[in-house]
Structure 1
């Protein structure tokens, strides 16, 4: 399975084209697991692209479900990965997807710190949002715009509304993917495994840069999440790259 998975990830899937950093002359810094930079994540078109090495926060079955349908029990696809799943991985067999998952799980993380979800530290945020008193701007924005789907617990609904407490897209150091989703929204693709398209609206027309920064900062520091704050300047930089309808 590892050999089959390596063939699919390195060749037909060409996952490294997006998930491997590039050098000054734009070549990928590694083409297989022998290179320390291979599949370690990068930034592409103002999106933080995650590392695929080890994928310690998901099981093999969760990786298979995500690649096959664009969603799993904790996450939903967004950004350019949406078209990858719609036009490529959703058409693969379960056997091939399992082989890819086995190969990706076999890769060493390279010593990089991996976020570990700690649900016991989530209770304080849940209690505060439930009481709805003495809220920060980010917390108020969350209740007004996000809480109906993702709930005060940040747990969402499996395979429908992504979990925010412990989500990898929220806890990575680079916040650009999260900012993109808040501004422009996202939607799952229609696949044979999950035909329904589940959309999330963008909030670019409802929030200014400072408000998006406050909301993103709350998401990155609420519940058990532990990631750096987001600034209005970071939001403005991402907003400037979006199509006109999302600015």
Structure 2
């Protein structure tokens, strides 16, 4: 049936005239289109494609976890090194059940706890789309974890603790927009994989869902509303941010820039609005702060005026759509200063998208400022604009050391 679809499309392209297409082929084409959309919503390309590669979904990209490095597998239709020889049941079991075709348990770097909320039809549509991607022969050694974590039998206990597979069921007391947003956020979008705090075993803490987590050298801030970091963001603010990577308050950089570029910017306006609707109805706690040393704040204020005020302005409001408003940037308000320190030390490149092609960058100041000065300006920014806890010199020293050791 899929080969019939390919032939039909080829005939249309070659003849440039009306062609009678079998109803089954039309149905297949619709499945491919749905699958393409869902693969983007699920951000499959981000993990399964090496950046800059001309071979999408062929795997090989290292995925950093708290326990070691895993490598995304080849999910093209190559029969020997990809999924071309897999049955539909085997593919569904991997995506929604966390099981490889030989029954081995997958590690949750593959976000199957979230994907389990998709329907089997969703997964089959994704496969229909992947079948249209050029197969690539690329054998990948997926598991590079140290002993004993490299033994997949350890996942039996993890699954028992943290994996509760269940398809998404709408909440009849909520609007259609809310339910669509909940499905995308909690299902294919797997937002909690980055934004939900984890236990020491790497499982989600359900009571703290979407309240922020730190991974791969970045802080994924809390994205709940209520009294959380996005308290002052409207539905429209969240929507514009997800579509373009920029809004009047903030700009997407780091890991979030990939999410915007490869996933949310490709969604329909209605779906992005639905996600924003859901997030604005998900409450979170207010940020907690403590009084910093006045001398540190004073020193940080002087550094800010010298190095930062030209772009972010003296009042921290920046330039809408260009330079972030520090009082409304979620990573400034969050308890963990990882992202603030990384950006001050190393700089950051914001995402470039079709609607917002500029993608402005911030230079790093690690070469110019010592650890005490980095801590001072970070403390000033977080206290003055975000009411977040102070940053110590040892925090800055550790951040500098961690950044020097990273390869990304």
**Offset from partner CA, 1:166-206 (integer Å, 9 cap, x none):** 53322222211111111111122111111112111111111
- Which of 113, 130, 138 matches 2:286? 113
Aligned to 1:118: none
Aligned to 1:28: 204
Root-mean-square deviation (CA, aligned residues, Å) is: 2.1
Aligned to 2:387: 226
Give the Cα separation in 1 of the matches to 2:221 and 2:353: 23
1:190 aligns with 2:190: no
* Aligned partners of 1:4 and 1:96 also within 8 Å: yes
Give the Cα separation in 1 of the matches to 2:379 and 2:372: 10
Give the Cα separation in 1 of the matches to 2:274 and 2:329: 24
235-244 or 193-202: which moved more?
Answer: 235-244
Give the Cα separation in 1 of the matches to 2:342 and 2:220: 12
Choose between structure 1 and 2 for higher RCO, CA contacts under 8 A separated by at least 6 residues.
1
Deviation of 1:245 after TM superposition, in Å, equals: 9.3
**Offset from partner CA, 1:45-79 (integer Å, 9 cap, x none):** 34332112223221000001111111100111122
1:9 aligns with 2:185: yes
Aligned to 1:41: 212
3-state SS, counterpart of residue 187 of structure 2: helix
* Change beyond 3 A, Cα 1:152–1:46: same
* Aligned partners of 2:317 and 2:326 also within 8 Å: yes
* Aligned partners of 2:197 and 2:213 also within 8 Å: yes
Give the Cα separation in 2 of the matches to 1:153 and 1:24: 40
Aligned to 2:401: 240
Give the Cα separation in 2 of the matches to 1:150 and 1:71: 15
1:102 aligns with 2:277: yes
- Which of 355, 364, 371 matches 1:209? 371
1:61 aligns with 2:236: yes
3-state SS, counterpart of residue 21 of structure 1: coil
- TM-score norm. by structure 1 comes to 0.82
* Aligned partners of 1:186 and 1:199 also within 8 Å: yes
* Aligned partners of 1:56 and 1:114 also within 8 Å: no
- Which of 255, 258, 279 matches 1:80? 255
3-state SS, counterpart of residue 214 of structure 2: strand
- Equivalent pairs, count: 219
- Which of 256, 268, 271 matches 1:93? 268
Deviation of 1:150 after TM superposition, in Å, equals: 1.1
* Aligned partners of 2:191 and 2:210 also within 8 Å: yes
Gaps in structure 1 of 5+ consecutive residues: 31-35, 116-134
3-state SS, counterpart of residue 200 of structure 1: strand
Give the Cα separation in 2 of the matches to 1:105 and 1:166: 15
Q: Select the structure of larger CA radius of gyration.
A: 2
Deviation of 1:114 after TM superposition, in Å, equals: 4.8
- Which of 152, 168, 184 matches 2:314? 152
Gaps in structure 2 of 5+ consecutive residues: 1-176, 289-296
* Change beyond 3 A, Cα 1:136–1:106: closer
Deviation of 1:139 after TM superposition, in Å, equals: 2.0
* Change beyond 3 A, Cα 1:71–1:41: same
- TM-score norm. by structure 2 comes to 0.51
**Offset from partner CA, 1:72-91 (integer Å, 9 cap, x none):** 00111122111111111111
* Change beyond 3 A, Cα 1:164–1:52: closer
